[in-house]
Structure 1
Amino acid sequence: MNRLARMLSAASLALGLAVAGVPAVAQQAPAAPPPLKQAPPAAIAAAKEILAMKNAAAMYASAVPNIVEQTKNQLLQSNLNYQKDLNEVAVIVAQKLAGREKEIGEGMAKIYANEFTEQELKDLVAFYKSPLGQKLISTEPRAIQFS
């Protein structure tokens, strides 16, 4: 059981690094991102509208199991003796991360509202509502799948 707890901790750390997109650097802690400034409510609303049009919650929901599986497979390459434990841990980690789409979406909306002006976000909303924007939204998942 102690071994399972260590593997769970290691898998959670590895998954956290993979999900956050933070490179694992030995002996050097990653710098904390700068705090997000308070964005106007209209900017956050436009950002949320963009994320809804792009069906971002579904992308997050499907990405989590894939990231867990990839992380598990990477850990298995150097820990073949722990295959059973890693399989069990992968299920636990996936369950803990499931259902966090809303939380992720809120964070993404705040990031968008910090990176784009309110007018830029409104322009993006208008673009995504246009025929070309709709075409981009419909083809983007396939492009990601085949890349």
Structure 2
Amino acid sequence: MTKFSRMLSAAGLALGLALTAVPAGAQQKPPAAPAPALKEGTPAAMAAAREILTMKNAGAMYANAVPGIVLQTKEALLQANLNYQKDLNEVATIVAQSLAGREKEIGEGMARVYASEFSEQELKDLVTFYKSPLGQKLLATEPRAIQTSMSFMNQWAQAFAEIVNAQFRAEMRKRGKEI
């Protein structure tokens, strides 16, 4: 059964690599749904939202967005244009430098989302909470709790996949077919 779970993991990895390896122009993406309209937050609500995101270290999530997207684009273009490797490497450096800092737009967008979802007073209350001892403990332990939860879910999924596989095999054996 561990062979089967390794096979599932390998298949998932291969699929992920295959999807990222397709040149950007060749990928068929459905039209993007329009972003939901956000209500405009007050300047105080935006400031509180930014403070919450700073306390939660949200910037770490998107800190490498610009270089990552530049690299991904370069790799996709390189696959279709192998003879331009030197040029594409040089252009990637130029593009990354010219777009450096644009990841801050993500932080502003996230702050707008928070300011749209929570009232100004709720945001101020959240800032107060995150500054409290319990809030500080949550900020310190939540990333580890989320990581451990994800690890648990992955382990559960692998074990459950083996159960499902065994039941498929048992049902197929009842039909006289070994798989």
Task: Identify unmatched segments of 5+ residues in structure 1.
Answer: 1-13, 15-22
Q: Which amino acid aligns with 2:141?
A: K
In structure 1, the partner of 2:114 is 112
The offset of 1:98, in angstroms, is 0.9
Aligned to 1:71: 73
Structure 2 contact 67–96 (Cα < 8 Å) conserved: yes
Paired AA for residue 133 in structure 1: L
How has the CA–CA distance of structure 1 residues 29 and 63 changed in structure 2, closer, same or farther, with 3 Å as cutoff? closer
TM-score between the two structures when normalised by the length of structure 2: 0.51
For residues 116 and 76 of structure 2, what CA distance do their matches in structure 1 show?
A: 34
TM-score normalized with structure 1 length = 0.59
- The answer on whether the counterparts of 1:72 and 1:90 sit within 8 Å (CA) in structure 2 is yes
2:84 equivalent in structure 1: 82
Q: Within 5 Å, give how 1:1-147 maps onto structure 2.
A: 25=29, 30=32, 32-122=34-124, 124-126=126-128, 128-129=130-131, 130=135, 131-137=137-143, 139=144
* Code of the aligned partner of 1:48: R
- Distance (Å, rounded) in 2 between the aligned partners of 1:76 and 1:127: 49
Shift of 1:47: 0.9
| Unmatched segments (≥5 aa) in structure 2 | 1-23, 149-179
Aligned to 2:17: none
**Which residue in the other structure is 1:5 paired with?**
none
User: 1 CA distance for matches of 2:142 and 2:54?
Assistant: 14
**Residues in 2 aligned to 1:42 and 1:118: alpha-carbon distance in whole angstroms:** 7
For the 8 Å contact 1:128–1:134, the answer to whether it is kept is no
Identity between Structure 1 and Structure 2 (%): 66
